[in-house]
Amino acid sequence: MRRKLIAGNWKMNGLKEEGLKLAKAVAEKCRGNLSFDVLICPPMNLLGLIGNQEHTNVLLGAQDVAETTKTAGAFTGDVSAEMVKDLGAACAIVGHSERRTLHHETNAVVCQKAQNAIQAGLTAVICIGETEAERDNNQALEVVARQIKESVPTNATAENCVIAYEPVWAIGTGKTPTTNDVAQMHAAIRHELATLLGSQTADNMRILYGGSVKPTNAKELLAVENVDGALIGGASLKIDDFWGIASTQL
Ligand code: PGA
């Protein structure tokens, strides 16, 4: 059985006071035994602060790691996967579409970052997804298949890797694919993963859906076959919205 994962991507949001408050509020909600995992990915300025708090049920993740295979050295502005792990993180998002677009990260770069995360003992949350133009041109399945082939390391396992399918046109827009489209894409992703990693690994690997997940659509999206959780941007910044989504899985 794949355990669902409810993940918050805070993006570049959060000064100390509000960030710590939000992390505490999430930890408070997640007290006790939950049947699903909760992950928050705050920006780097908060990672150490939140990682230093007393132990909670909430997993902590970074939004990126450095591309170099070196764990330290002359790489101004970069933070290595080893450093992220050292701050108390268990996961790292890699290949988010905002990084692929704004920082021109290719599949090869994303694959290297995923490898670095895995090497450091983190779970890599590898983001993939087509643009609106690609979907309109009926290229969505082909684009996503290529992203999997080229961005998922061949040593990925169900423990050290999670896939997040995030159609670029659904991120921050309020638009979501139909549940049929989500089902079709997630099945295709699992099929591609089986080709790359073998069917046992593919069957156990979690595939999240991301893009305008809200308390009002979470239940429906999370009930789709092969949807093993959600990667949540905007709605992860307000405890009521984030918990409104997570609590659909209680
Ligand atoms: P959104 O972002 O929930 O605000 O659409 C999702 C993401 O970018 O991970």
Could you tell me the CATH number of the domain that includes residue 25? Answer: 3.20.20.70
User: What is the total count of domains within the chain?
Assistant: 1
Residue 104 pLDDT level (bands cut at 50, 70, 90): very high
Q: State the average pLDDT over residues 165-187.
A: 98
As given in the structure block, the two tokens for residue 121 are 């003992």
Instruction: Examine the residue annotation and report whether 104 is marked as an active-site residue of this protein.
Output: no
What is the number of the ligand 1 atom nearest to the C-alpha of 214?
3
- Ligand 1 centroid, distance to 106 Cα (angstroms): 20
**CB distance 61 to ligand 1 below 6 Å:** no
Tell me the residue length of the chain: 250
Identify the pLDDT of residue 1.
84
Identify the pLDDT of residue 83.
98
Q: State the average pLDDT over residues 87-92.
A: 97
Helix (H, G, I), strand (E, B) or coil at 218: helix
Instruction: Examine the residue annotation and report whether 166 is marked as an active-site residue of this protein.
Output: yes
Domain ranges, residue 80: 5-249
CB atoms within 10 A of CB 12: 9
Predicted TM-score (pTM) of the model is 0.98
Identify the pLDDT of residue 174.
98
Percent of the residues in the chain that have a pLDDT greater than 70, as a whole number: 100
**CB distance 123 to ligand 1 below 6 Å:** no
Q: Which of 70, 79, 75, 160 is nearest to 114 (CA)?
A: 160
Q: Which of 20, 10, 93 is nearest to 53 (CA)?
A: 20
Identify the pLDDT of residue 149.
98
